[in-house]
Structure formats: C-alpha cells, structure tokens
C-alpha cells in the first residue's frame, strides 16, 4: 500500500513516478517508475479535439435555424469541423500504430503539426464567422502555452509568430473591407434558443471566458506543481550525491592510511638501522638499507598517485571546494622545497615569482599537487647541473605559469600520450626509473576540474616547457 506518490514531468518530458511505501520490515522504500506520459497528454488533446470538431459540425447544422447567424456559410463550418475530425483521426492512428517507436523528437514534431492545423481551423472559423472580436483568439494563447511545455523553445516561438499572423489576419481583412465587420456586442442579447434565456451570446461568451481562464490556471498550476516537485527531488538527489561523495572520500582516506601505514613502520625501522640505533652496520648493509628505503618511497608514492587519481576522476566538486587562493606563496614554497632535491644533482631552480598577491579560484591542495608534479618532473628529467625556470605571466582573465627545464625533452610522437595513465616514454624510463606514470594524468585531471588549460613545447635532448593556464574565476 503506497504511503504517497509523487509524479512530475522531467526534462525529457517523461513522467517520473515515486511511490513511497513500507516493506515487511517497516522500512520506507521507494519504487521508481519512469514512463513516457507525453503520449498521455497528447492523446488527451486528441480526444478534446474530437469533441470540438463534433461541436463545430453540429453548430454548422444548427446555424441556418438561427436568424442572426444567417450570414454564416454553414457548409464551410461543417467542412472545417469534418476536416478537423479527419485530421485528428489521422493523428490518433499514427500515435496508436507507432506508439512504441516514436521518439521524443518525432512526437513533438507531430504535436507541432497538430497545432498548426488547429491554428488553421481557428483562422478559417474566424473568417467565416466574420466575428474577429471573438473568443477564438483565446485558443491561440492556449496553444502557445501548451507548445512552450511540450516543444523546444525555438519551435514554440515559431508557433507564437504563426499565431500572431493568423490572429491579426482577420483584423486586417476587416479593415481592408475584404470581409465585412459585424459588431458582436449588438448580437450579445440574442438567445440561441428563445425558450432558454441564458443561452444568449453574452452569457455564452462570458461563460467561455471563465472556462478558458480556469483551464489555463489548472494546466499552469499542474505544471508548476510538477516543476516544484522536480526541483525538490533534484535537490534531494544532489544532497544524496554529495553525501555519497563525502563517504567515498572518507573511505579513500581510510584506504590510503591502511596501505601506507605498514610502509611507514617499515621505513621507520630502516631509519633506525641506517642511523645506527641498533649498532653499527657495514657499508654494504647501509647500501642495502638505502635501496630498501628508496623502494618504500616509490611504493608509497605510487599508492598515493593511484588513489589520488581515482579520487579526482570520481569526485564531485562543489563550489565550496574552490576558494580564492594566493598562488604566489604556494609557488614559492614548492620552489624552496624542490631546491633541496635539485641541490643533490646541482640543478638550479630559478623562480621568477612576483612579490604581490595573485589570486585565483581553486582548491589549495590540488593546486599544490599540480605544481609539485610538473616541477618535480622538470627536475627529474633535467640533466645534472641544469636549470629549471619557473615564471608567472599575469593576463587580464587568467595567469600562465610556465615551467621550463633543460632536460631530456619529449619526442613529438609521444607528446599526445604523456598525459595518459601509466604512459612513460622509453627515454623517461631509461633516465628516471622510479616514476609511476600517473603524475601528468593527475595534472590533467586537476586542470580539467579547475577549468584551466595546459600546453607544452619540447625538443628532445634540449628540454621541455609546460604552460599552465588558470583562471581568476
């Protein structure tokens, strides 16, 4: 037994049905159904159109018996009604036969055709009745409203323009004298059926107005209710996604800890051996210990890279994850830190970083990772005694951070692969065996998340320059 049900129209013009019910354990469950009910509404219009076409045909037969409608060519009215009936039947058959195969696009195109012929019917009736001050104009607005819901914006605009032309045409025809003008208000006291007083034209017109406005209100409020429900639903789904993402991040951190902690203990013991806390060791043993420490570093680095990349690819980043940050101290700190690594191979880091603030919008930790990865690459693949240059160029809407090395460079055929996961060129592997192959993949993901760009120039044997573009907003 459902507790309650929500139905609404979603972007794809399908109806979603959410039934909340309790299972045998009294837990609230959601039963979600998605089915196309655009058909339902379109069929609904077909039924209404049949009713209207029958009404027009019957009116055509009755008008000769009402004195003041004698100017109306009732044959034309009957023909218009029958034409509408036949067209409507064609729509009906098409819908029935191709119900399961008609795509959304075909559906709304068919609907647009129906609207066009409805307009033609209204126009012809308006001309024939020569009452351009009639309620028929309201049918145009009704169709325009419906078309804004069920068709694309451009199509509904075209429908609107067609309605403008068809609604204006009788006025112009009366003005130019092509069709005669009849003052509707002079006929308003006439009763269609003399024995029943309330069948006067005035009463019928006013009643028609009431019916029309209430119909418009009903349809608009139904749609509005559906849109509100959909907005609430989207907000709920969004919060759920954010919560799942936070949970995923917690699990990622846990996984990182579980994988890195054992290596931390191993390295700690190796430090103890290396530094003689357990007594003096031979040079050979020292050498072995240093290699073991190095391999531990490689492994933990790879673990971090794999988890980091996986996290970047699957995370949902929200506005609050990005803040206004000053890139200058970040770049300065990383340069200083890497100078210690460069020092071991006599590689000089020349950082041309301005003293003033340069504020961009980003995630601090990710920006640090991005810059660290690119700069570390520059050092790792530099020749000994080389220079790594770091520069910032400030443009109107963005900044360009350039990192240039005088290293082994990248071959042209490898340039479009270097951001691929686990890709390492033969030269890179030969020169620096320890890379994970994920550093630049991580760089690419971070730049993508920040809406930035990266490009590079490289000459094998001479060096590489990376240009990172980050926007202020």
Partner 1 sequence: MKKKILIIDDDRDFVESIKIILEKDYEVEVRYTTEYLIKNIKLINPDAIILDVMFPDDPDAGFTAAQLIAGDKETSRIPIAILSAVNQMSNLALPFSNDDAGHEFMPVWEFVEKPVEPKKLHDLIKTLLRS
Q: Which is nearer to partner 1, 141 or 315 (CB)?
A: 315
Q: Is 278 in the site for partner 1 (CB under 8 A)?
A: yes
The residues, ordered by sequence, that sit 6+ positions from 90 with a Cβ below 8 Å of its Cβ are none
Nearest approach, Cβ of residue 367 and partner 1 (Å): 11
Q: Is 230 in the site for partner 1 (CB under 8 A)?
A: no
What is the footprint of partner 1 within residues 314-333 (CB under 8 A)?
323, 325
Q: For residues 328 and 326, what is the distance between their CA atoms, to the nearest angstrom?
A: 6
At residue 406's C-alpha, the angle toward residues 400 and 412, to 5°, is: 80
Nearest approach, Cβ of residue 266 and partner 1 (Å): 8
Q: For residues 401 and 312, what is the distance between their CA atoms, to the nearest angstrom?
A: 22
Q: Is 364 in the site for partner 1 (CB under 8 A)?
A: yes
Nearest approach, Cβ of residue 269 and partner 1 (Å): 5
At residue 434's C-alpha, the angle toward residues 250 and 467, to 5°, is: 75
What single-letter DSSP state applies at residue 191? B
Q: Which is nearer to partner 1, 254 or 313 (CB)?
A: 254
Q: For residues 315 and 248, what is the distance between their CA atoms, to the nearest angstrom?
A: 8
Interface with partner 1 (CB under 8 A), residue total 22
Q: For residues 221 and 239, what is the distance between their CA atoms, to the nearest angstrom?
A: 27
Q: Is 337 in the site for partner 1 (CB under 8 A)?
A: no
Q: Which is nearer to partner 1, 130 or 266 (CB)?
A: 266
Q: Which is nearer to partner 1, 376 or 456 (CB)?
A: 376
Question: Are 169 and 140 spatial neighbours (Cβ–Cβ below 8 Å)?
Answer: no
The residues, ordered by sequence, that sit 6+ positions from 105 with a Cβ below 8 Å of its Cβ are none
Question: Are 350 and 390 spatial neighbours (Cβ–Cβ below 8 Å)?
Answer: yes
Token pair listed for 272: 């103890």
Q: Which is nearer to partner 1, 184 or 303 (CB)?
A: 303
Q: In this structure, what are the phi and psi dihedrals at residue 34, rounded to the nearest 5 degrees? A: -125, 120
Q: For residues 59 and 55, what is the distance between their CA atoms, to the nearest angstrom?
A: 6
Q: Is 246 in the site for partner 1 (CB under 8 A)?
A: no
Q: Is 254 in the site for partner 1 (CB under 8 A)?
A: yes
71 beta partners:
none
Region near partner 1 per CB under 8 A, out of 158-166, 211-219, 229-237, 264-272: 264-272
Q: Is 271 in the site for partner 1 (CB under 8 A)?
A: yes
* The only residue of 22, 186, 235, 250 in contact with partner 1, by rule CB under 8 A: 250
What is the footprint of partner 1 within residues 84-113 (CB under 8 A)?
none
Q: Is 282 in the site for partner 1 (CB under 8 A)?
A: no
Q: Is 11 in the site for partner 1 (CB under 8 A)?
A: no
* The only residue of 236, 264, 350, 430 in contact with partner 1, by rule CB under 8 A: 264
Q: Is 267 in the site for partner 1 (CB under 8 A)?
A: yes
- Distance linking the first and last C-alpha atoms of the chain: 51
Q: How far is CA 163 from CA 142, 203, 260, in A?
A: 10, 27, 70
* The only residue of 86, 227, 244, 253 in contact with partner 1, by rule CB under 8 A: 253
Region near partner 1 per CB under 8 A, out of 81-89, 126-134, 270-278, 279-287: 270-278
The residues, ordered by sequence, that sit 6+ positions from 303 with a Cβ below 8 Å of its Cβ are 256, 259, 260, 263
Nearest approach, Cβ of residue 352 and partner 1 (Å): 25
Q: Is 248 in the site for partner 1 (CB under 8 A)?
A: no
Q: For residues 176 and 71, what is the distance between their CA atoms, to the nearest angstrom?
A: 19
Q: Is 277 in the site for partner 1 (CB under 8 A)?
A: yes
Q: Is 412 in the site for partner 1 (CB under 8 A)?
A: no
DSSP string spanning 362-403? Answer: E-HHHHHHHHHHHHHHHHHTBPTT-EEEEEEEE-SSEEEEEE
Region near partner 1 per CB under 8 A, out of 123-131, 248-256, 375-383, 413-421: 248-256
Nearest approach, Cβ of residue 322 and partner 1 (Å): 11
Q: Is 257 in the site for partner 1 (CB under 8 A)?
A: yes
Using CB under 8 A, list all residues that contact partner 1. Answer: 250, 253-254, 256-257, 260-261, 263-265, 267-269, 271-272, 275, 277-278, 323, 325, 364-365
């Amino acid at each position: 037994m459902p507790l309650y049900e929500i139905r609404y129209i979603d972007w794809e013009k399908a109806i979603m049905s959410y039934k909340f019910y309790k299972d045998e354990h009294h837990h609230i469950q959601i039963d979600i159904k998605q089915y196309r009910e655009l058909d339902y509404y379109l069929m609904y219009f077909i039924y209404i159109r049949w009713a209207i076409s029958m009404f027009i045909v019957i009116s055509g037969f009755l008008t000769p018996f009402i004195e003041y409608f004698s100017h109306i060519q009732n044959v034309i009215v009957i023909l218009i009604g029958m034409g509408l009936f036949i067209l409507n039947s064609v729509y009906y058959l098409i819908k029935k036969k191709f119900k399961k195969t008609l795509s959304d696009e075909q559906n709304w195109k068919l609907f647009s055709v129906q609207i066009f012929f409805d307009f033609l019917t209204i126009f012809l009736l308006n001309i024939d009745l020569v009452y351009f001050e009639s309620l028929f104009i309201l049918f145009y607005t009704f169709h325009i409203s419906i078309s804004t819901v069920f068709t694309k914006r451009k199509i509904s605009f075209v429908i609107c323009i067609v309605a403008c032309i068809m609604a204006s045409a009788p006025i112009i025809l009366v003005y130019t004298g092509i069709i005669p003008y009849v003052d509707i208000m002079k006929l308003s006291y006439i009763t269609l059926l003399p024995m029943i007083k309330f069948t006067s034209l005035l009463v019928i017109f006013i009643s028609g107005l009431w019916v029309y406005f209430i119909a418009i209100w009903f349809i608009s409020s139904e749609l509005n209710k559906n849109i509100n429900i959909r907005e609430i639903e989207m907000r709920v789904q969004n919060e759920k996604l954010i919560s799942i993402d936070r949970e995923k991040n917690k699990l990622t951190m846990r996984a990182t800890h579980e994988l890195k902690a054992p290596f931390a203990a191993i390295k700690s013991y190796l430090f103890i051996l290396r530094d003689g806390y357990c007594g003096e060791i031979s040079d050979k043993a020292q050498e072995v210990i240093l290699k073991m420490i190095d391999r531990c570093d490689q492994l933990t680095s790879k673990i971090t890279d794999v988890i980091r990349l996986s996290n970047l690819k699957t995370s949902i980043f929200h506005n609050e994850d990005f803040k206004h940050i000053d890139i200058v101290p970040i770049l300065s700190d990383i340069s200083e830190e890497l100078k210690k690594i460069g020092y071991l191979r006599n590689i000089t880091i020349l950082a041309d970083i301005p003293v003033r603030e340069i504020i961009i919008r980003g995630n601090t930790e990710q920006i640090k990772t991005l810059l660290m990865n690119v700069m570390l690459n520059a050092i790792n693949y530099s020749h000994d005694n080389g220079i790594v240059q770091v520069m910032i160029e400030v443009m109107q809407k963005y900044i360009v951070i350039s990192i240039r090395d005088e290293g082994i460079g990248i071959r042209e055929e490898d340039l479009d692969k270097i951001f691929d996961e686990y890709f390492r060129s033969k030269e890179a592997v030969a020169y620096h065996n320890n890379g994970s192959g994920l550093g630049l993949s991580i760089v690419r993901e971070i730049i993508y998340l920040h809406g930035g760009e990266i490009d590079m120039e490289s000459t094998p044997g001479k060096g590489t320059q990376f240009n990172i573009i980050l926007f202020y907003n």
